[in-house]
Each structure stands twice: as C-alpha cells, then as structure tokens.
Chain A
Amino acid sequence: MRLYEYEGKELFKMVGIKVPKGVITSEPIKWEGKAVVKSQLLEGARGKRGLVRVTDDVYNTILELKKLGIQKFLVEEYIPHSKELYLSALIDRDTGDPLIAASPEGGIDIESSTNVKTFRIPLERGVKTYDVIAIEKYLGVKGLEPFIKGLYSLVVDYNAELAEINPLAVLDNGNLVALDSKVILDDNALYLHEDLLKKFNRQEQVESLVELGGDIGIVGNGAGLTMATMDMVKLSGGNPADFYDIGGGAGREKVREALLKVASLPGVTRVFMNIYGGITRCDEVAIGIVNALNELEKQGKKIKVYVRLVGTNEEEGWRILKEHNIPVYQDFKTLLGEALRS
C-alpha cells in the first residue's frame, strides 16, 4: 500500500527522521511567511505538474490548487538548503537483507541516476556505526545515523517494502531534513499494523487490479498467465485496459466481482478472460461469468466477453457458457484471432 507523503512523514517522525514543520489541510489556511504547499496525491511527478508550490500566499495557492481538483494539502515551512541527497531502504531480494540505497544526487528521478550505491545491512545484526560511517563518507555529509536507522526500522518493524527520502536536504549549517517521503507498505503485513491504518483512515485492500488505460478488459487466473495475456493482446495490436488476477481457487463470487469491476472501467466494451483451472474450477468460473453478465444486462451495459477456459471441470464450464451463448475457447490464440477481428 502506497502512503501519501504526509502519512509517510508521520511514520518518519515516529522513527526519528527529521521532517519540516507542517500541517495537513483540505481548506485554505492563513500562514505567516514563505511556505511550500504540496498537493497530496499518490502519483509521482507532482513537481513537474506544478502541484507543489513555494509561495508567500498560502491561502490563495490552496484556492487555486483546489480548482484543479486537489483535495488534500500539506503546508510546510520553507527550508532553504544548499544540497539535495537521495536515501532509501528496501529488502534485497537475493539475500533477504535490508539495503540502504544512497546517492549524492537527490531530488531527481532515481532510475535515471548513475551514482546510486547500495549498502547491505544483514538482518541478523541491524545497523552498526560502521555502516553509517561508510554511507556518510559516500554522501559527504555527517549526521545520517537517525535517518539510516529510521529507514531501516521502517523496513524491519513497520513492514515497508520501500521507504524513500528524496530529496534529503542539506542545510547551510549542515543539518539534514527529509523534504519528501515515499513509503510503500507490504500489503501482506497490513494486518500487523491495524493501528496505523486506523490513524490514516485507510483500509486493508487486496489490489488485484492494475489499470492500463486501454479498451480491452483482461481477467486471468495467476499473475504470470494474466500478464502473458495482456502482453499477447498488446502484441496482437489490442490495447489492454487492465490487469486483473483472480488468483488461485477463485469461486463464482470472485469471478463475478472481477468481471463487474473490469467491465466498469472507462472505455471497456470487450473483456478477454484467460483461465487455466488447476485448483480453480471451470464450472465455478462459468457460473461467475453468467452471474456478472446478467447483472450488466440489468444495468443496461453492453459488454462482450470472450472466455478461454480449460482445466478442472472444463466440460461443465463449457456447457454453462454455451447455454448462455458466451463464446468459449480452449486456446487463447484462437480467442485472440477471432475476438480482435470482431
């Protein structure tokens, strides 16, 4: 689960990472002196889109941004600084140990940076002074300890998959302040942090859907098969609207929910389903599809569904779909050929 900047900064404060003084508001407020008004959105590149503004007139800046549809703002003291660094923590997939990633070039898109160095901190021992010294030397600053320990703690104690400070500002007096936060929590560990979810008024949710913006809805079972499905649609000249994995062993309810959700995406008129039933039963899938289509018909929505369905109880699944005149295929290649032509 990706956190808003202000939520990430709340966590920063809890683990001892210094952030600018600020308030969160949804309405224009009075503010003495220079401030930074930061629109709270989950997407990146806010700066480029003009949604982060340095201003002496906080009140009117918020009014203007509200006209653009922004609902929440973090207003912070303006912090003059001479240098920006990058610092983050995540788990190394190969060793299972936390990594600290650091770059002397902060404030930019880290993917395009060429001088990111990673420091592995074995889980068994945690952050030691000599780790801190090595990273301070690389970045050419002092006073990193609370930042490194804080980021490490977010990964190990708060189940963050990624905890990032970009930029980390270096002030003229040498002090350090985290100007921005990006924290992504492990969805599978949210049950361990119910207090945080409550505090942020966020709900634990399983994200089975990723929107891609095209017009062909995609539903599959299993992440690999679903990804392969959207890739094949794209390679054949179609435009996938989404990625939706119903997971292993999905019953009729899950299938119905998936199809309704995908059918409701803007611009979707066709949905391609690709199901290989192992622990998933084809008859259950078929019933789910029929139920969803009945509902869509009642809503007056015209959605064409093409289904590739094989595996456990396939014959019963085919029978149910054919009974309702829903095109069913045993091979996704054939489905693609026919469905894209229609």
Chain B
Amino acid sequence: MLQYGTKIVAGVTPGKGGTEVYGVPVYDTVADAVKEHEADASIIFVPARFAPDAVYEAVDAGIKLIVVITEHIPIIETAKMIKYAKMKGARIIGPNCPGIINPENSLVGILPPRAFRKGKVGIVSRSGTLTYEVSELIKKELGQSTVIGIGGDPIIGTDMVEVVKAFDEDPETEYIVVIGEIGGTMEERVAQLKKKGLIKKKMVGYIAGLTAPREKRMGHAGAVVYMGMGTFESKVKALKEAGIPVANTPYEIKDILLSL
C-alpha cells in the first residue's frame, strides 16, 4: 500500500506503541493514533476472533471508512458490528474482502497492483482472485476507474447496490462490471435498479456457481443457497431481464465490454 502511494499515517497494534514499521509510527490504540494524525480510513488485518473489537475501536475513534480484510468472523458478530458502525455514521467495506483500489492513485487492501491500470471500468465483486483475473483481462484495452471487493461473507458493510449507484455517479467510470456469485439477493436488487432505469451506465454481469449444488458452501461463507434463495438461475435471469448482458465465463466479460 505504501509503495502504491497510499498515505499511511499510522499503524495500531496493542503493546507495540512507540515503534515504527517502514517509517510509519505504531500506536497502542486507534484513539492514540488519531490524536497525532488525521486519518480518513482504517484497514483491519486482525485475526477473526479479535477483528470485531478492532472495528468497534475504529468506529469509536471517529474513523468513517473501515476496510475489513479478515475472513471467518462469525455472522452474528458481523451483523452486530455493521449495525453499530451504521448507527455511528461509519461505513464498513467487507469483511472477508480484498479492499479497494483506485488505479495509479491509491490502494486500501491487498489487491495485486499488476492487474490494474487507470481506465474507465468500475468493477464491484464478491470475490478476490476472480476480480484480479477480470481486471487483468481488461487492463490493456480498457483499464479500471475503481475496483471494490465487497467481500464473500453473507453479511457485509457495503453491498453491490450501493457501489453500483456510486459508480453510476462517478465521472471516471464509463462501464460497470458486476461480479457476483450464488447466495443472497444483491445481484437481483442491482438488476431491479437497472430495470427501473435508475442506473444509466452500461453494465456487464458475471455470476459464479453455475455448477454449485444447493446448501453446500462454496468456499465463501456467503456462497450458499438456503431455502432456494439466490440461485445461479435467479441471478442470471434477473440481470438479463434488466437488459444487462451476462458473461458465461470471466473471459467473455472483456468481449462484451468491447462490443458495448
């Protein structure tokens, strides 16, 4: 992140206060850090059992954007911490996400810089590596405006609908790519917005999990179909009915974008 130009003003690790890492000062608490520095965002790499505490700490210190990379936080804990953050006016991205990148400007996350070049496609995705794959495929011809991995958990702080709306208003974004997967109803809700004409920009969709069996968790805690909700078929149908072309493979996303 430092190499990419992100201005990291401080790190926080209890017990390590007063030390430095790559020239960045480390504090015992977020409160100590924000006393000395102005911080707009926080990124959390803390192990799952302690990650919710780190989120509460950042919220209480007044941080308004919190990116949670950590995977394996219990669902109910995630639900509680997201409710708390919302109540306090803070936005969480994740958990279980690779973060956010504005190519050639800033990176808050673990997305590998090699896949990105400044350009015109906004990508929102529930997956990490699949996002890198698609980004790299469109890097040469199109590039990306901003790429957000919103996370693979069933409950996340910032959903696809919010990101798509933001892309629609973002002057740097010309096309919007939605990379979804089975489980939940976010993709369906995005499709409804498009159908109602509330999203003006051209979109392309892709859904992973065509061959996934029901009630089996496919790696991500959120990639699971319970009670028939959020199947592959329901998502593809919703997107198509909204006039959003759906790619059969990640490779097709580029071809469709170039043909729009």
Measured between beta carbons, the chain A residues less than 8 angstroms from B184 are: 93-94
Q: Is B223 an interface residue (CB 8 A)?
A: yes
Q: Is A155 an interface residue (CB 8 A)?
A: yes
Instruction: Contact check, A224 vs B217: say whether CB atoms are below 8 A apart.
Output: no
Closest to A155 in B: B76
B204-238: which residues lie under 8 A (CB-CB) from chain A?
Answer: 206, 208-223, 226-228
Task: Return 8 A-B CB contacts under 8 Å, by A number.
Answer: A91-B79, A93-B185, A94-B184, A223-B208, A240-B211, A276-B132, A278-B132, A312-B112
Closest 7 CB pairs of A and B: A224-B127, A223-B219, A222-B129, A96-B79, A224-B130, A245-B219, A189-B74
Q: Is A225 an interface residue (CB 8 A)?
A: yes
Instruction: Contact check, B130 vs A210: say whether CB atoms are below 8 A apart.
Output: no
Closest to B130 in A: A224
Measured between beta carbons, the chain A residues less than 8 angstroms from B215 are: 184
**Are A188 and B48 also in contact (CB < 8 A) when A96-B155, A124-B83, A278-B111 are?**
yes
Q: Is B71 an interface residue (CB 8 A)?
A: yes
Measured between beta carbons, the chain A residues less than 8 angstroms from B111 are: 278
Smallest distance from the beta carbon of B140 to chain A beta carbons, Å? Answer: 14
Interface centre among A101, A224, A235, A277 (most CB of B within 10 A): A224
Smallest distance from the beta carbon of A242 to chain B beta carbons, Å? Answer: 11
Q: Is A111 an interface residue (CB 8 A)?
A: yes
Chain A-chain B contacts (Cβ-Cβ < 8 Å), number: 167
Q: Is B198 an interface residue (CB 8 A)?
A: no
Smallest distance from the beta carbon of B211 to chain A beta carbons, Å? Answer: 5
User: Chain B: interface residue count, which band?
Assistant: 35 or more
Instruction: Contact check, B76 vs A224: say whether CB atoms are below 8 A apart.
Output: no
Q: Which of B155, B206, B209 contacts A91 (CB 8 A)?
A: B155
Measured between beta carbons, the chain A residues less than 8 angstroms from B251 are: 333
Measured between beta carbons, the chain A residues less than 8 angstroms from B2 are: none
**How far does the alpha carbon of A116 sit from the alpha carbon of B74 in the complex, in Å?**
27
Smallest distance from the beta carbon of A262 to chain B beta carbons, Å? Answer: 14
Q: Is B37 an interface residue (CB 8 A)?
A: no
**Are A224 and B216 also in contact (CB < 8 A) when A93-B155, A96-B83, A161-B75 are?**
no
Instruction: Contact check, B209 vs A231: say whether CB atoms are below 8 A apart.
Output: yes
When each residue 36-59 of chain B gets 1 if its CB lies under 8 Å from chain A and 0 otherwise, what string results?
Answer: 000000000000110000000000
A212-247: which residues lie under 8 A (CB-CB) from chain B?
Answer: 212, 220-228, 230-232, 234-235, 240, 243, 245, 247
**How far does the alpha carbon of A188 sit from the alpha carbon of B79 in the complex, in Å?**
14
When each residue 75-115 of chain A gets 1 if its CB lies under 8 Å from chain B and 0 otherwise, what string results?
Answer: 00000000000001011011011000100000000110000
Measured between beta carbons, the chain B residues less than 8 angstroms from A159 are: 74-76
When each residue 181-223 of chain A gets 1 if its CB lies under 8 Å from chain B and 0 otherwise, what string results?
Answer: 0001011110110000000000000011010100000001111
**Are A96 and B110 also in contact (CB < 8 A) when A222-B219, A223-B218 are?**
no
**How far does the alpha carbon of A243 sit from the alpha carbon of B212 in the complex, in Å?**
9
When each residue 243-268 of chain A gets 1 if its CB lies under 8 Å from chain B and 0 otherwise, what string results?
Answer: 10101100000000000000000000
Q: Is A14 an interface residue (CB 8 A)?
A: no
Instruction: Contact check, A224 vs B210: say whether CB atoms are below 8 A apart.
Output: no
When each residue 114-150 of chain B gets 1 if its CB lies under 8 Å from chain A and 0 otherwise, what string results?
Answer: 1000000000011111111100000000000000000
Measured between beta carbons, the chain A residues less than 8 angstroms from B246 are: none
Smallest distance from the beta carbon of B118 to chain A beta carbons, Å? Answer: 19
Measured between beta carbons, the chain A residues less than 8 angstroms from B75 are: 91, 159, 161, 186, 188-189
Q: Is B61 an interface residue (CB 8 A)?
A: no
Interface centre among B77, B211, B216, B217 (most CB of A within 10 A): B211
Smallest distance from the beta carbon of B27 to chain A beta carbons, Å? Answer: 25
Q: Is B250 an interface residue (CB 8 A)?
A: yes
Q: Is A162 an interface residue (CB 8 A)?
A: yes
Q: Is A24 an interface residue (CB 8 A)?
A: no
Measured between beta carbons, the chain B residues less than 8 angstroms from A88 are: 227
**Are A91 and B154 also in contact (CB < 8 A) when A212-B213, A224-B125, A224-B181 are?**
yes
Smallest distance from the beta carbon of A44 to chain B beta carbons, Å? Answer: 8
Q: A123-B76, A227-B209, A243-B212 are in contact. List 17 more A-B contacts (CB 8 A).
A: A91-B75, A162-B226, A186-B76, A187-B217, A189-B77, A191-B49, A212-B213, A221-B129, A223-B208, A223-B220, A225-B128, A228-B249, A234-B211, A235-B249, A243-B219, A247-B71, A279-B110
Smallest distance from the beta carbon of A310 to chain B beta carbons, Å? Answer: 8
Q: Is A311 an interface residue (CB 8 A)?
A: yes
**Are A278 and B218 also in contact (CB < 8 A) when A91-B155, A97-B79 are?**
no
Instruction: Contact check, A224 vs B226: say whether CB atoms are below 8 A apart.
Output: no
**How far does the alpha carbon of A209 sit from the alpha carbon of B79 in the complex, in Å?**
26
Q: Is A156 an interface residue (CB 8 A)?
A: yes
**Are A248 and B83 also in contact (CB < 8 A) when A93-B154, A223-B219, A228-B208 are?**
no
Q: Which of A188, A221, A245 contacts B73 (CB 8 A)?
A: A188
**How far does the alpha carbon of A239 sit from the alpha carbon of B179 in the complex, in Å?**
24
